[in-house]
Structure 1
Amino acid sequence: MPFLLSIVLVAVGLYIRLGILETPVFSKLVAENRIERTPILAVIREHPKEILLSAFARMAEQAPFYIFTAFIFSYGIGALHVSRDFLLTAVLSASVLSFFSIPFFGHLSDRIGRKNMYMIGAAVTGLFGFVYFGMLNTASEPVIFLAIVLSLIPHDMMYGPQAALIAESFSGRLRYSGSSLGYQLASVIAGGPAPLIATWLFGTYQTSTAIAAYIALCAVLTLIATAMMTDYTGRAIDNR
């Protein structure tokens, strides 16, 4: 049933996408016949640094996200002894909150700078990992619920400005390909392995502090990568 209902989401997404005009930058490239014929090869050749920085900038967003939304089920059931339905309700509640917090932090990044907002989010994420597991380990269901609901806010502080921060790192004719490569590379090195790494850390060290330290390490990598990126907030990018 969820799979069949997803067809409705595909239809809604397609309707929205077909109703969105191309960006002025891309329309200008089309008019001037400056479309890159082999964008993947070109962006790897011209923007290797930006691809890698984009991927590592997502470490603190991707890895903790999958710990907070996937690993929490095995940890909650096995270590905290709470029900799966309880955990699912908490994660869904966090997702509802994200519906508002993601656009809010995106808007805030327009005010204080995408890079500044992103680095604040990474720093908060690095610290929140310890707070998160401290709250979970109280074994109090209200506290556990609150920890899970709050867990996506540090993530949203980065996810709100992330699309613009990454996309603006690439020139217009290579923006889509470059953004996609950097974005998806992070899924390979950060998002995908995160629940497995968290499981291994907990099984090896028998303490959630090891997982919190892993989250902090991801945050440090993100801070370094983001510090090396250029912030184009409020700057013209038409000629790039």
Structure 2
Amino acid sequence: MSDEKPGVPLLTEQEAHRQLRRAVIASTIGTTIEWYDFFLYSIVTGLVFAKLYFPESDPLVGTLQAFLIYAVGFIARPVGAAIFGHYGDRVGRKATLIVTLLLMGLATFAVGFVPTYASIGIWGAVILTVLRFIQGVGVGGEWGGSVLMSMEWARTNKHRGFVASWPQFGVPAGLFVSNLVVLAVSQISGSSFITWGWRVPFFLSIILVAIGLYIRLSILETPIFAKLLAEHKIEKAPTMEVIHRQPKDILLSACARMVEQAPFYIFTAFVFAYGVKTLGASRDLMLTAVLAAAVLEFFTIPLFGHVSDLIGRKRMYMIGAACAGVFGFIFFAMIDTRNPALIFAAIVLSLVPHSMLYGPQAALIAESFTGRLRYSGASLGYQLASVIAGGPAPLIATALFAYYHTGYAIAAYIFVCGVVSLVAAWRMGDYTNKDISREYDDARSLGDSGHAPRHA
């Protein structure tokens, strides 16, 4: 007689391994597509949006206005985390991920059709703002599901950091593809890039969405969620429940991300405005450097995810926070030389400290929340950082440079973020190699003590 529970299929080791591989591929390709969409907007913001949608403003003011629309996507991300975290813990990881992919992809596709200021005045910027908000909502719900889809299929606790790092791989992959497409289109369209060439990468996103949708429809729900469903442990209002039960974990997760978020968007989005307009560097040099940095992260993100399985999630993350906090000074010392080789090297190296954080980060945050609240809690903690760090970073960097006229002021801001993240990571629990398949408030979970280590 089978001991299989309703809704929890018993798979052979080979079948389970196949599902893990599919889940990792689906999550990674899906996040690549969604981050392609998100980064594409970031790149074009720094290159053309100020000219097309705020042509009557002073160049610096126009850049600030363009980055304000850019920041709207980050403000929307916690909204997406709350909405899709709820459904991810109620309906399932798979269905929620399909919806977020469609939402993000269609909004990005629509950006390519938005008329400029010359055609409809300020309404162009208004439409961009709405579409950017929709993009942010989609990304806000995407991350938690992608990480859980991979992590909850892991067959052993000893490799969870490595497995969970693969959806993170979608960030440099999306960054690479978006920069590559913009670089290619700018070569093809030449001087017409400002008038029509920038729209082409947005149109291409619909092809990527179709590919991602096909892949995500082929995977099964995760064993952990299927078990929760079979045991009737689904919360009616998971988002509110996790805010009530684990508010500290949400806040610590958000603060731990500050030194990962702020420098990343300074080094990959603000750098286009700073390098091209302030330093006089070529657009192609900046795009190529970010491409090379993204390629490097293809290897370093899973590497540091693996290292976190060996030395502990918290330890790896704290080392990364310390490195990222001080690298801002090195970055601006190199880039301010205006030497193309040093500018290139600075941008490439800037994502190494980011990888030290981003590799172990998925498991560090997701493991902090009990299974039935994990999608909501991890998504809220992760995306709250978008409001306090990621979105404001290019704006703060632009304002600091306008006031102090030196990149070292921006480096000081990055250092402060590093201190905050270091303290927050130190206060987080460490669940490296612990069993996360049981609920944390189950007396049998995570060992004989009956309690998860809160601040190990």
Higher relative contact order (CA 8 A, sep 6+): 1
Normalised by the size of structure 1, how large is the TM-score?
A: 0.96
- Give, in whole Å, the separation in 2 of the partners of 1:208 and 1:105: 29
- Give, in whole Å, the separation in 2 of the partners of 1:20 and 1:162: 24
Question: Unaligned stretches of 5+ in structure 2?
Answer: 1-199, 441-456
Residue 35 of structure 1 corresponds to which residue in structure 2? 234
- Give, in whole Å, the separation in 2 of the partners of 1:134 and 1:3: 35
2:324 is matched by which residue type in structure 1?
T
Give the structure with higher Rg (CA).
2
Residue 170 of structure 1 corresponds to which residue in structure 2? 369
1:123 is matched by which residue type in structure 2?
A
- After superposition, what is the alpha-carbon deviation per residue over 1:100-127, rounded to whole angstroms, capped at 9, x for unaligned? 2111111111111111111111110011
May I ask how many residue pairs the two structures share in their alignment?
A: 240
- After superposition, what is the alpha-carbon deviation per residue over 1:174-194, rounded to whole angstroms, capped at 9, x for unaligned? 000011111111111100000
Partner secondary structure for residue 138 of structure 1? coil
Residue 204 of structure 1 corresponds to which residue in structure 2? 403
Work out which of the residue numbers 73, 76, 80 in structure 1 matches 2:279: 80
2:348 is matched by which residue type in structure 1?
V
Residue 187 of structure 1 corresponds to which residue in structure 2? 386
Work out which of the residue numbers 296, 301, 312 in structure 2 matches 1:102: 301
Q: Check if 1:121 corresponds to 2:325.
A: no
Q: Check if 1:156 corresponds to 2:374.
A: no
- The offset of 1:15, in angstroms, is 3.6
Partner secondary structure for residue 338 of structure 2? coil
How many percent of aligned residue pairs carry the same amino acid? 67
- After superposition, what is the alpha-carbon deviation per residue over 1:117-165, rounded to whole angstroms, capped at 9, x for unaligned? 1111111001111111111112211011011111111111111111111
Question: Unaligned stretches of 5+ in structure 1?
Answer: none
Residue 233 of structure 1 corresponds to which residue in structure 2? 432
Residue 166 of structure 2 corresponds to which residue in structure 1? none
- After superposition, what is the alpha-carbon deviation per residue over 1:6-65, rounded to whole angstroms, capped at 9, x for unaligned? 223223333443344433322211110111111111111111111111111110010000
Over aligned residue pairs, what C-alpha RMSD do you find?
1.3
- Give, in whole Å, the separation in 2 of the partners of 1:20 and 1:104: 26
Residue 270 of structure 2 corresponds to which residue in structure 1? 71
- Give, in whole Å, the separation in 2 of the partners of 1:106 and 1:8: 30
- Give, in whole Å, the separation in 2 of the partners of 1:236 and 1:169: 12
2:310 is matched by which residue type in structure 1?
R
CA gap of 1:109–1:71, structure 2 versus 1, over 3 A, is same
- Give, in whole Å, the separation in 2 of the partners of 1:150 and 1:11: 34
Deviates more, 1:69-78 or 1:226-235: 69-78
Residue 222 of structure 1 corresponds to which residue in structure 2? 421
- After superposition, what is the alpha-carbon deviation per residue over 1:200-225, rounded to whole angstroms, capped at 9, x for unaligned? 11111111111101001001110011
Deviates more, 1:121-130 or 1:23-32: 23-32
Residue 412 of structure 2 corresponds to which residue in structure 1? 213
CA gap of 1:88–1:57, structure 2 versus 1, over 3 A, is same
